[in-house]
Amino acid sequence: MNDKIDYVEFPSSNRAETSAFFNAAFGWGIVSYGPDYDALSDAGIDGGIDQSAGKVMATMAILRTDDLDGAEQRVIAAGGVITRAQFDFPGGRRFHFREPGGNELAVFVARDDAVSA
């Protein structure tokens, strides 16, 4: 599975309250990765809740690829604008972009899939 939506990230001004809400309302599991980030489990698609200072301010779909550089080149060639350069995170490496209609998305390569990161 390459270049498919794999993850959805929800911004939050209060990660603990958002996580508690999703757990109480829908029974989704929560895995904490520190004071600014929780991952969701049993939500139908993997996801997370981001409270970090640099978070995107709208829900963001994240696509998984096995060629991060190639995906970045395709995004730019198709008219996308890179909004956050490639960076490492605990699960691998990713970048953010805005498509011509204004939606911000991300593309990542998992640490296990990365040939060179």
CATH number at residue 47: 3.10.180.10
Tell me how far apart the alpha carbons of residues 16 and 104 are, in angstroms, rounded to a whole number: 24
On whether residue 28 sits in a domain, the answer given is yes
Nearest Cα neighbor of 83 from 44, 55, 109 is 55
Tell me how far apart the alpha carbons of residues 61 and 7 are, in angstroms, rounded to a whole number: 6
pLDDT tens sequence for the chain (117 residues): 588 999 999 999 999 999 999 999 999 999 999 999 999 999 999 999 999 998 889 999 999 999 999 999 999 999 999 999 999 998 999 999 999 989 999 999 998 865 443
User: Which residue range(s) make up the domain with 51?
Assistant: 4-110
Tell me how far apart the alpha carbons of residues 18 and 93 are, in angstroms, rounded to a whole number: 25
On whether residue 43 sits in a domain, the answer given is yes
Nearest Cα neighbor of 9 from 66, 81, 53, 63 is 63
On whether residue 117 sits in a domain, the answer given is no
On whether residue 116 sits in a domain, the answer given is no
On whether residue 40 sits in a domain, the answer given is yes
Tell me how far apart the alpha carbons of residues 21 and 77 are, in angstroms, rounded to a whole number: 40
On whether residue 39 sits in a domain, the answer given is yes
Number of domains within the chain = 1
On whether residue 115 sits in a domain, the answer given is no
On whether residue 11 sits in a domain, the answer given is yes
Contact between 98 and 78 under an 8 Å Cβ cutoff? The reply is: no
Residues composing the chain: 117
DSSP 21-33: HHHHHH--EEEE-
Q: Is the pTM of this model over 0.75?
A: yes
